[in-house]
Copies of this chain bind each other. A is one copy, B any other.
């Protein structure tokens, strides 16, 4: 038996979930594609689901995460606001360090324990 770690991590305000892995992923994909529609497609969400998620996040957070660029030749797109980009980057770095740290602490305590217990 080889034991492994799993976790869910999220950010709250007054006990209410306001941000986490899924929201961060959609913001990062908007940043890289320049389009909420493309970000949604990449995550197997409909465009309307994606807008609902963003609307919901903005209302819980109290600030704007992205704005729509004017149409033009390329048909427009979505760009993260400065705060939206700061939130996505802050969370991404936090999440990466959190995962690394959890795995190190888990290994320290659990290495070879599973094999030992089931021997």
Binding site for B on A (CB under 8 A): 1-13, 17-19, 61-63, 83, 86-87, 90-91, 93-94, 97-98, 101-102, 105-106, 108-110, 113-114, 117-118
Contacts and interface: CB of A to CB of B under 8 A. Distances in A.
A18 B5 CA distance: 10
Contacts of A9: 5-7, 102
A94 B117 contact: no
A24 to B, nearest CB: 12
Contacts of A94: 105-106, 108-110
A7 B7 contact: yes
A101 to B, nearest CB: 5
B11 A5 contact: yes
4 A-B pairs with least C-beta separation: A94-B109, A7-B9, A8-B8, A101-B101
A114 B83 CA distance: 10
Contacts of A102: 9, 98, 101-102
A91 B106 CA distance: 9
